[in-house]
Amino acid sequence: MNESLDKAYWIGLLISVVLPVLVGLVTKQVTHPGVKAVLLLALSTLNGFLVEFANPGPDYDFGTAVVLSMVAFAVGVLSHFGLWKPTGVSGKAQASLGGGSPRSA
């Protein structure tokens, strides 16, 4: 069995890892975490649907786009709490565009 993922899927996965930093760039330290989560969900949904649209294949599959959106959101949450927050990148991203100084965790 020689299954391979198209480039669109890999690019979508990499974007999913970076989405939490993008959310940090456009929000402030005082922004409610629920608002940040909804923004991450919206960007993940957009990512999933665009990846399915960009994927070269016979037809656009809505179900696949929904699954890709859920995977993008899960990867975004995991990368935020497992990579970006512990290394301090999230706080620095929020502080970089006038979002306030990073809070100590």
> pTM for the full model?
0.84
CA distances from 15 to 10, 21, 53, 84, 98 (A): 9, 10, 15, 14, 24
How does residue 1 score in pLDDT terms, banded at 50, 70 and 90? very low
65-93: pLDDT as tens digits = 999 999 999 999 999 999 999 999 988 88
How does residue 37 score in pLDDT terms, banded at 50, 70 and 90? very high
- Smallest CA-to-CA distance from 7 within 62, 64, 51 is with 51
42-73: pLDDT as tens digits = 999 999 999 999 887 778 899 999 999 999 99
